[in-house]
Structure 1
Amino acid sequence: MKPLITFFPLFVITFFCKPCLGDEQEKPWLDALHENISESVNESALWFDEFFMIDQNSLSEKALGEARIQLGWNPRSRELNQFENRFKIRYKLPNLKNRVDLVLSDYDDEQPDNLLQNTRVDSRNEQNRFNLALQWKAKPDSGLSHRIGIGRRLQPYVKSRYRIVAGIGTQADIRLESSVYYYSSDGFGAEFSGRYSYVINPASMFRFNNHFYFRDETNDWLWQHSWQHLVQLDEKNALICGLYIEGLSQPNYHLNEYLASSRWRVNALRDWLFFEVEPYITWRKDEAFSASYGIGLRVEGYFGQS
């Protein structure tokens, strides 16, 4: 918690006062930070890939890794200590013909980037965060993938997922996805999702998302719907306005929370560094659907590859 508390004054100074700090090239510590983390990620990828090396002279492609690190703070009118941090590291392993990836993250990286979860950190989510898995496909471009790993309070699990994207004319597409999994303690589960995207113009898109999750440990369905309007303001700035709702199927189909937000995402200082500012309003069933006002502040960095 303390590193995040000390980080946010830096976030405010760097992002909102960056004109006072001089030209972007006058910050060599950013380049050193990126270089050090990227080297560490790529060296780890090579180390993992060597486990599968059969012939020292047969490797023509270098193993590389990529990392995404996000720090955030989502205070709202009833909770100010809503800190979040995320990391995801993916290693591609040439010795396995690039059909197998090693994925390490502190959250279930196959879940959608749902703002309802980003702005509500509870004990159950905290316990479920760590995930380490091998993911493989029969072909690199196959829509069918399989995972075996450890997640959700260090439970061994297996998971299979199928994804397909179909175009509708020149301006729209539909992405359908389904998966089934088994955790050693939580039991079986299933996920179904559908996303409709419509390109209004080259700088504007509408997106409608639907997600359904069956959870064996609670014998119910968690459902989530969202409507988003994405606007590319310029090559460095984007705006996402959205409405998000979430509910459960037990004891009957009911709404638990809905939320409206407007997210400004900007690529600043370096091409690998992104900042987000997201004011939002949320209404929750456990708070009698009384409006709660908040703002999300996040910084995100991408490391590795070359």
Structure 2
Amino acid sequence: MRFLILSIALLGSTAYAEDNEVDYSSCHSQPDSAEILDSAYHYVNSRFCQPAIWFDNFFVDERIDEDANAGSLVRWRNDFSYVEGKGYQYKTRFKARFHLPKVNKRIKLVFESDDESDLLDLFPKNGEDAENTLALRYDWLNNERTSFNIKLTAHPGAEARLRYTYPINDDLIFRATQKIYQKKRLTGESTELDLDYSLSPEFLLRWNNFATYEDDIKGWELGTGVTLYHHLTEKQAINYRLSTTGTNRPFHYISNTHASMTYRENILRPWFYYEFTPEYNWSREPETSREGEFKATIRLEILFHNI
């Protein structure tokens, strides 16, 4: 599948469109938020006046983190949750990314958890918390539509990621991401296909799809989900999520169906955020019946970028 995505990237590069004037007043992208974006990412989104650039920045989507060359980032999240039948839980996650300017502008020092992925919000998983790890990331390629980087972790492990973005028209953007990774004795690959559709400057509909294969159990995991983003003010936004995940190990079945809503607000200081997320998961493990579980989470987040 990764060869298919590479072929799409090569074919799509021949369809490069000329720059046109854009009325930025109808977009949510502001100069301060655009500072942390690489010019390639900003070109694709702001040129086609996609509110995706604002939503990804406000919700700190991985497109901001992985496709932006400029700026450093420190993110500390604290989740206080109530889980039906299990009581109250607390989880904290810390992520930091810094340039190494005296070494090479393309190299970044990254500190994050093994499961650091925004797909986990749309496709939640059960299991133990992942460990934090230190990594070096090298941004090999980053142009108008294509980005490619390599990451080496201290566990040890390695990951190569290729992302290709193609604007189909003024309101619709296609994005393909291919990852190949090695974690200790585990080798795997993940393919993600996304579509962003701009309903209006206030609403964005995103359709995410992924397929992951890991050789330790020689099994696939598949998922599809939609997210509707709603812009309220420059400091408030809501997203609505619905997804389902399936696997073929040890047999074919739907492992989880997820529904949630997240309200996010920037409060008190420019670097302090508050979130409230009620969600419901219908999950199933092999040889067990499907069970429903309600969860409500309050997140307090400290976010610094361009430090």
Q: TM-score if structure 1 supplies the norm length?
A: 0.71
Contact 1:99 1:139 in 2 (8 A): no
Residue 121 of structure 2 is aligned with which of 94, 114, 120? 114
Structure 2 residue 213 is the aligned partner of structure 1 residue 214:
yes
Residue 298 of structure 1: aligned partner: 299
Q: Which has the higher helix share?
A: 1
User: Within 2, Cα distance between the matches of 1:304 and 1:234?
Assistant: 21
How far the C-alpha of 1:116 sits from its partner, in A, is 4.1
- Deviations, residues 230-267 of structure 1 (Å, cap 9, x unaligned): 00011111111111212212233310111111111111
Contact 1:145 1:160 in 2 (8 A): yes
How far the C-alpha of 1:110 sits from its partner, in A, is 4.7
- Deviations, residues 205-236 of structure 1 (Å, cap 9, x unaligned): 10110111111222111222211110001111
Contact 2:140 2:150 in 1 (8 A): no
In structure 1, stretches of 5+ residues that fail to align are 1-62
Residue 135 of structure 1: aligned partner: 137
| Pair 74,116 (structure 1): closer, same or farther in 2 beyond 3 Å | farther
Residue 67 of structure 1 is aligned with which of 63, 71, 74? 74
Residue 178 of structure 2: aligned partner: 178
Identity of aligned residues (%): 22
Residue 265 of structure 1: aligned partner: 264
- Map 1:249-264; keep pairs closer than 5 Å: 249-264=248-263
| Pair 250,139 (structure 1): closer, same or farther in 2 beyond 3 Å | closer
Residue 64 of structure 2: aligned partner: none
How far the C-alpha of 1:148 sits from its partner, in A, is 1.2
How far the C-alpha of 1:64 sits from its partner, in A, is 6.9
Contact 2:141 2:149 in 1 (8 A): no
- Deviations, residues 90-148 of structure 1 (Å, cap 9, x unaligned): 0112223311111111343356342443xx5522xx2x332221110234546111111
**Larger radius of gyration between Structure 1 and Structure 2:** 1
User: Within 2, Cα distance between the matches of 1:90 and 1:180?
Assistant: 21
Residue 86 of structure 1: aligned partner: 93
RMSD: 2.1
- Map 1:1-306; keep pairs closer than 5 Å: 65-110=72-117, 112-117=119-124, 122-123=127-128, 126=129, 128-139=130-141, 141=143, 143-150=147-154, 154=155, 156-186=156-186, 188-286=187-285, 288-303=289-304, 305-306=306-307
| Pair 77,99 (structure 1): closer, same or farther in 2 beyond 3 Å | same
User: Within 1, Cα distance between the matches of 2:106 and 2:142?
Assistant: 5
Contact 2:123 2:223 in 1 (8 A): no
Q: Which has the higher strand share?
A: 2
| Pair 65,108 (structure 1): closer, same or farther in 2 beyond 3 Å | same
How many residue pairs are counted as aligned between the two chains? 234
Shifted more, 240-249 versus 105-114: the winner is 105-114
In structure 2, stretches of 5+ residues that fail to align are 1-69
